[in-house]
Structure 1
Amino acid sequence: MALSGKKIIVTGCAQGIGAAALRAFVREGAEVFAMDIDPEAGSATVDDANASGPGTAHFIACDVGDRAPVNAAFDAAVAKMGSLDVLAHIAGVHRHAPTHDVPDDLLAWILNVNVSGTIYTNGAAYKHMPNGGAIINFGSESGLTAEINNAVYGASKAAVHTWTRSVAREWGKRGIRVNAVLPYIVTPMYERFREALSPEDLAAHDKATAEQIPLGGKFGDADTDLAPVLVFLAGEGSRFITGQLIPVDGGLISVR
């Protein structure tokens, strides 16, 4: 098992990529503390992961956009596990908005969860990694390209990219490697986006996706296409990789 003995924290565990990461880490033998703002859904994913094993998982409710609860949750997790080797910070939010009139509450929500949440969780992990470790953040191709009605989300992810590369340089002296994954993966968030499209817009979206993604012409699967990458980044095979923005997108970014 690739992660036997590893102590890992996963944020955003209740669904989608976070749930897939939790399952993969437990399957590879890690002990995982899973965190989410939704205690019911988060606890259910932990129960599912524990049913399969062979690693173990625990759940603790946490709002990543609030510094004090983040610090308390990380302290409690490390007190239980004894140490911390890996943080997979997956929690994030997205919503399209017209750029000429962005509502204040939407702006604050996206920046708080996506930017402040990254800074808070990474800082909390740093305190518990005196002898090195791995932090996996989540960026987006939206932080690299220009997209209609998506500038706020894109700006938040561009901030994650810059943060990741900056702290990788600074924290490398402590043996902490920090990378960001840029996924193009089917998630509940993406499914809701599809459901909101008109039939004409959905057809146009699917046509563009088929043309722009060289591998398969569609979004990837969280369990089969992304989770193995996260296991690699959490394991010793990635010990000399840091400060990287790693697309897991079927080649999308390379052809844009």
Structure 2
Amino acid sequence: MSVSTRVALVTGASGGIGRAVAQRLAADGMSVGVHYVTNKSEAEGVVAGIEESGGRAIAVAGDVADEVAMAGAFDALEKAFGGVDVVAHIAGVGMHGPLAELDLNAFDELQRTNVRGTFVVSQLGATRLRAGGAIVNLSTTLTKLAPAGNAAYAASKGAVEAMTLILARELKGRDVTVNAVAPGPTATPAFLAGKPQPVLDHLAGQAPLERLGTPEDIAEAVAFLAGPGRWVNGQVVFANGGMV
């Protein structure tokens, strides 16, 4: 299957890393489903930009933890483009603060989005991707760095990594790869918001390359795993400039 016939669903594609991934896969020639939860206008803007550059894209909506809604997103892509070959599951939420002080209701919502959401999207991908396909989930470098104040978020991404590695083995014989990309600090609007410059400078200095990552840096890694990286399977790729 040529790149020009491949179809990708990118969750959380209305902004940040997801937007960069959608744009990169479209630039690689894939037709793209730009998924969003609430930011419809932003998702439609991503679609418009892809189309203006000569690509093909549609906006699809759905709560990633809702199996019916996400099945509808797959249905829409199959109707528009004939099938689905790649799932880049970027959607997720963060939570920071000491474990002893975290609100349990907020913790449950984090797990619902990050863990159940990954399970739902992976389950659909496992059953509906065409041969030669790829699932790429999003983890975090925090699973290795384990800094204080990140127990809830890192725990949710540890679950993502476990599901990724096990699903790769369970899909033996399907010709579908399953990997995860684990970014380091990445200069998205959500990450930058509220952080004073000295904090950002400190974080940038943690990497030997002495800068924060960009959404495009992470999109490069996702695009490799979604396209030419067929012999990489069941792995967590740390895209963090050498922090660990």
Range into which the TM-score falls when normalised by the shorter chain: over 0.9
Q: How large is the RMSD of aligned CA atoms in angstroms?
A: 1.6
**Per residue, is there more helix in 1 or in 2?**
1
- Per the alignment, do residues 130 and 231 of structure 1 end up closer, same or farther by CA in structure 2, a change over 3 Å counting? closer
The answer to whether 1:252 aligns with 2:243 is yes
- Per the alignment, do residues 205 and 56 of structure 1 end up closer, same or farther by CA in structure 2, a change over 3 Å counting? closer
**Following superposition of structure 1 onto structure 2, how do residues 151-230 of structure 1 map, counting pairs within 5 Å?**
151-184=151-184, 185-192=186-193, 195=194, 197=195, 199=196, 202-204=197-199, 206-210=201-205, 212-215=206-209, 217-223=210-216, 225-230=217-222
CA distance in 2, matches of 1:40, 1:208: 32
The number of equivalent residue pairs is 241
Is the Cα–Cα contact under 8 Å of residues 10 and 35 in structure 1 kept in the other structure?
A: yes
Counterpart position of 2:14? 14
CA distance in 1, matches of 2:146, 2:153: 11
TM-score (norm 2): 0.93
Counterpart position of 1:26? 26
Is the Cα–Cα contact under 8 Å of residues 3 and 231 in structure 1 kept in the other structure?
A: no
TM-score (norm 1): 0.89
Counterpart position of 1:234? 226
Is the Cα–Cα contact under 8 Å of residues 33 and 57 in structure 1 kept in the other structure?
A: yes
Q: Deviations over 1:146-196 (max 9, x none)?
A: 22111000000000011100101111321110000011221122112xx2x
**Following superposition of structure 1 onto structure 2, how do residues 70-149 of structure 1 map, counting pairs within 5 Å?**
70-149=70-149
